[in-house]
Structure formats: structure tokens, C-alpha cells
């Protein structure tokens, strides 16, 4: 038993050590990635956004504004093109995922929402507004007359069950039972 416990402790200590080493490596990789992104950002800004020099005359300012508007338009076009590419690729991904599910034979059900709709509204939605259908379910029901049966009459004649029990309780009730039977 002693050897097994020592081995288990050694294994857990080794696992803990490996986990801590992996976490340290991951942290350094994250820092490198962050510094790389920051340097890419600085390079892009230096390349595409030169420092602004405001000229003194109004004609030069107007020319600068025209240049800035042209750059803004170009950036907006690039943004729109990239958004369209992203939308197209997401649509293709969804289609491929659906094909994959179809090939596997597993169908992913879309989440359904509960819709509260009357029968009239449902028929109107299915058939369109041209067809006028009234779905009053209670209108087609038959009228049923209530007939007095013997059981109901007996129940009404018996009355309140508590009175009967009180009358039959104790020795007096038993005497009455025997007297009524004979």
C-alpha cells in the first residue's frame, strides 16, 4: 500500500508541475501575440494614416478635406466588401453544416417558439385573407337536456350525509338500524 500511495502522490505532483509549466508557456504566448498585434496596428496606422499637417490657406484646407473624403470613401468601400465576404462565407458555412447533418442522418431542429393564435387567425394565415372561415367550435355543439335519473333523485332524497352518520352513531343509532330492519 505504501508504494502505491507514493506513486500516486508523485503522479499528482508531476501533473501539477506540468499544468503550471503549460500555463506559464500559454501566458508568454499570449503576451507575444498581444505585442505582435500592437506592432501590426502601429505599422498599419503609420502606413495608411500619415500625420496631419493643417495648411494655412483655405484652398489648401479644401484640398485636404477632399483628400480625406476620398480616403473615407475608399475605407467604407473596403469595409462593405469585407462585410459581404464575411456574410457570404458564413452562409456557405451554414449550408455546408446543413449538408453535413444531412449526410450523417442527424437533423438539427431549429428552436421553435410558442405562438398564441386563435383558430380563426390560424385559418386566415393558412388560407389567406380572401377566404372567410369562421371557426366557432361552440356553435356546432348539440344541446343536451338534463334528465332526472333515479340515482339523482335518491341522492337528493338522502340529503346531507353528515346527518345520517350522526343519527346512526352510538347505541341509539344501532337500535334504530335494528328497529328499521325488522
Q: Write the pLDDT tens digit of every residue in 14-44.
A: 999 999 999 999 999 999 999 999 999 999 8
Tell me the pTM.
0.33
Are 153 and 161 a contacting pair, CB within 8 Å? no
Mean pLDDT over each residue of the chain, to the nearest integer: 79
Provide the pLDDT for residue 31. 96
Length of the chain: 182
Q: For residues 82 and 156, give the distance between their C-alpha atoms in angstroms, rounded to a whole number.
A: 84
Amino acid at each position: 500500500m505504501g508504494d502505491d500511495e507514493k506513486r500516486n502522490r508523485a503522479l499528482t505532483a508531476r501533473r501539477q508541475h506540468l499544468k503550471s509549466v503549460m500555463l506559464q508557456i500559454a501566458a508568454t504566448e499570449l503576451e507575444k501575440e498581444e505585442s505582435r498585434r500592437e506592432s501590426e496596428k502601429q505599422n498599419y496606422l503609420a502606413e495608411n494614416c500619415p500625420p496631419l499637417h493643417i495648411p494655412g490657406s483655405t484652398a489648401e484646407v479644401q484640398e485636404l478635406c477632399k483628400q480625406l473624403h476620398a480616403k473615407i470613401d475608399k475605407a467604407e468601400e473596403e469595409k462593405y466588401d469585407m462585410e459581404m465576404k464575411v456574410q457570404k462565407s458564413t452562409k456557405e458555412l451554414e449550408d455546408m453544416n446543413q449538408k453535413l447533418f444531412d449526410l450523417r442522418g442527424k437533423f438539427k431542429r431549429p428552436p421553435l417558439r410558442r405562438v398564441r393564435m386563435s383558430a380563426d387567425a390560424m385559418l386566415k394565415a393558412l388560407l389567406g385573407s380572401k377566404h372567410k372561415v369562421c371557426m366557432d367550435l361552440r356553435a356546432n355543439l348539440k344541446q343536451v337536456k338534463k334528465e332526472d335519473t333515479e340515482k339523482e333523485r335518491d341522492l337528493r332524497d338522502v340529503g346531507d350525509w353528515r346527518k345520517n352518520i350522526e343519527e346512526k352513531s352510538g347505541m341509539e343509532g344501532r337500535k334504530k338500524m335494528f328497529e328499521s330492519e325488522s
